[in-house]
Amino acid sequence: MSEFEGGCRCGKVRFKAAGDPKFVANCHCEDCRRSTGGAFSTWIGFETGQVSWPNPPDLHESSPATARGFCAVCGTPVSFSSEKWAGETHFLIGTFDNPDQFTPTGDAFAAEKLPWVTLIEER
């Protein structure tokens, strides 16, 4: 079975995910853009039951019933969970120890993308 590990820049926050992800997708929403500082965000989604936190993150409620996990020491945004995707935990690709093992296969909130970004389906 696949096992993935990751964490923040300084190592205060660490997570593990066992089994295969539900999805790997680029999100172009403004909320992710603001929360990460990136043009878009590549998220790896797991069932929350697959996830464990040896060192859990601090949480910011970015909108109602939506929690973004981050490191309060180094500032790295790490995770996302929301009632909209109940039972799932999503991680930003750059927080994994081996981010090269994931390739995004779709786009979310494509209508909010920056003009120069090419969607996966347009490649």
Q: What is the pattern of x (binds Zn ion, CB under 5 A) and - over residues 63-82?
A: --------x-xx--------
CB closer to Zn ion out of 18 and 108: 108
- Closer to Zn ion by CB, 33 or 51: give it: 33
Residues in the chain: 123
Evaluated on CA atoms 31, 35, 92, 22, the torsion sign reads: negative
What is the β-pairing status of strands 106-108 and 23-27? parallel
* Span of 11-19, 57-65, 84-92, 99-107 interacting with Zn ion by CB under 5 A: 11-19
Q: Does 10 bind Zn ion (CB under 5 A)?
A: yes
DSSP 48: G
**Number of helices followed by number of strands (H, E) in the chain:** 1, 10
Figure out which of the listed residues 29, 58, 94, 104 binds Zn ion, where binding follows CB under 5 A.
29
Give the three-class secondary structure for 122: helix
Interface residue list for Zn ion (CB under 5 A): 8, 10, 12, 27, 29, 32, 71, 73-74
